[in-house]
Homo-oligomer: A and B are copies of this chain.
């Protein structure tokens, strides 16, 4: 497969039009309408896609709530061996242009990938110079820059960075900052589940988040954040649903080997199970490190982290999803959502109503005890 080609593209190229409609109905859940968007400046090498997800039925008592989200996947600009500040500043410069284009396209909420200002340095297990990418979540240069953009364009920005909590013993966190359309930092979310597999040695750098599952009531809807590996945990998604989220962003950084299959299943299933929209965003490119590292897989030391495969996409609460962005280059996907659909899907399918929370809360309390006895019939 040309590494740029998604499955969507291959099907488009080879399946006859009439059949493709029917295939897409099963694969995406509906025929997805494209949105016309202003073209990007030619020097920006960035895929641009716009899709309209199905509208809710008209209601008498509520007006439609149409929101445009923009999700951005991107690769590094400078080599990882360059000075830290230069690497970050060049990424800032590039992303400002993408975000401005999103704003010019009518986007209301923008979200980038996990740790969007830096490489995924955890494969190295080295602390310096990499932890110098960490910054104060409220006053650091990235939040400062994003706040200006939010005010200038009246947009919400969801910005996933490496946080240095100087107030509390200099501890590092994997943190997402949510900035409202009026420029207020509404708050932050810390990654709730930390991977300990493959090259993702993140547990060497930070711990599981201690901020719960906040839902931010922004100008354009109630949003939550599931950071990367938290995507594997249905309970994580579930609690955002319980807290009233209408859109949950999943800024991620995952590599193709093994995980590409899961990518197209998990965030989509979460949208279905919880009757909200989900936006899954992955970075792109293969990152090359100055010194060798091992991957705990019996293979020789190497300098390349696996292939981040982009493929960002958006899913509606009824399971209908957009096609993916490409697998290897920068991209901006704009999706038009009708937030009224969340409640209509709940009314129709009754998943929250039939959830039996009382039964499960009791059982989970038992299962969390060290002397838990599973219900096994011999």
**Cβ 8 A contact of A244, one of B7, B357, B374:** B374
Residue A10 interfacial (CB < 8 Å)? yes
Q: Tell me, yes or no, whether A168 is within 8 Å of chain B by CB.
A: no
Residues of B within 8 A of A261 (CB): 25-26, 28-29, 319-320
Residues of A within 8 A of B (CB): 1, 7, 10-11, 14-16, 19, 22-23, 25-29, 178, 186-187, 192-197, 208, 212-217, 222, 229, 232-235, 237-239, 242-244, 258, 260-262, 264-266, 268-269, 272-273, 318-320, 348-351, 353-365, 367-368, 372, 374-378
A224 and chain B: residue at smallest CB distance: B375
Asked if B265 and A319 sit within 8 Å, CB to CB, the answer is: yes
CA distance A258 to B29 in the complex (A): 8
Is B196 a contact of A232 with CB atoms below 8 Å? no
Please determine whether B354 and A195 come into contact, CB atoms closer than 8 angstroms. Answer: yes
Kindly provide the distance from the CB of A329 to the nearest chain B CB, expressed in whole angstroms.
18
The answer to whether B357 and A367 have CB atoms under 8 Å apart is yes
Q: Given A233-B273, A260-B26: A217 and B19 within 8 A (CB)?
A: no
Q: Are A348 and B273 in contact (CB under 8 A)?
A: no
Contact status of A195 and B364, CB under 8 A, knowing A215-B377, A217-B378, A235-B238: no
Given known pairs A26-B7, A213-B375, A377-B187, the reply for A262 and B319 (CB within 8 Å) is yes
Shortest distance from the beta carbon of A286 to any chain B beta carbon, whole Å: 18
- With A and B bound together, what is the CA distance between A142 and B214 in angstroms? 51
Q: How far is the CA of A273 from the CA of B377 in the complex (A)?
A: 23
Interchain nearest-CB distance for A199 vs B (Å): 13
In the complex, A237→B242 CA distance in Å?
18
